[in-house]
Structure 1
């Protein structure tokens, strides 16, 4: 699964080049322009899932859900844009992986029995943060993250 966030209206060719390896594409919000999602959908046969971020204020992006809960081969993945809006305790809810964006800073950590993943941003560069996304691999009921730095 290819995990993206914070495109802010920019669909980079480097992201499109990753799509052939994706069985699912997950966007953790701040899409920025509907063309980003239609571009992703046009470039892959994989399902594309997205939540809305704080910049996704007008339709059709404002119509995206605030959160998603996906069953990926028995591993429950909860997706939201801003981790500060997390409205559940992952282990109590049976969630194994929490995916968020918002900060533009890639981060992966094990916390309270769940894997927390922020893929970073593949949108316009912010400060000195890398342009980054991640692969989320689910195998044998376990999840692992492979960070991808597109431009350091």
Structure 2
């Protein structure tokens, strides 16, 4: 079994509560608006990181792709920052999961057999939205399971 940590919209701030929540995961998927390279460096200290560039990530993070596919434990996971910018039809492409960010609103939903997960924002609080991260549990031959964790900050 593989457990992935999901994080998005850190905007240059990796809260200690977020880092603690992600401790022990097998890999981390960052769905954009990283904000600063040191956020990725800190996350890499926890686990291997797959990250995409968000709409506010500047030239320091220009080398990040706009989207990526993480293939882990026999599951293909498409990662993109803004869901409307998705470059593929996830169901037709055989993706099991799409991880996205941008809205800062934590969300888990299934459409056309594809699990869509927005871990929300783990960075600076925006409006009255929670500060959160997500987790994705993968096991060969089983349907991926997602959950969200609201952080007490």
Relative to its length, the structure with more helix (as a share) is: 1
Pair 1:54 & 2:55 matched: yes
Q: Distance in 2 between matches of 1:77 and 1:37?
A: 19
Structure 1 consecutive aligned stretches of length 4 or more whose deviation exceeds 3 Å: none
Pair 1:149 & 2:150 matched: yes
Matched residue, 2:97: 97
Q: CA deviation at 1:140?
A: 3.2
Q: Distance in 2 between matches of 1:97 and 1:139?
A: 13
RMSD over aligned Cα atoms? 1.2
For the residue of structure 2 that corresponds to 1:117, the secondary structure is strand
Matched residue, 2:33: 30
Segments of structure 1 that go 5 or more residues without pairing to the other structure are none
Matched residue, 1:19: 22
Q: TM-score, normalised by structure 1?
A: 0.94
Aligned length: 149
Segments of structure 2 that go 5 or more residues without pairing to the other structure are none
For the residue of structure 1 that corresponds to 2:91, the secondary structure is helix
Deviation per CA, 1:27-83: give whole Å up to 9, x if none. 0000001111111123x2x21111000011212x11101111111111110000000
Structure with higher RCO (Cα < 8 A, 6+ apart):
2
Q: Distance in 1 between matches of 2:33 and 2:152?
A: 19
Q: TM-score, normalised by structure 2?
A: 0.93
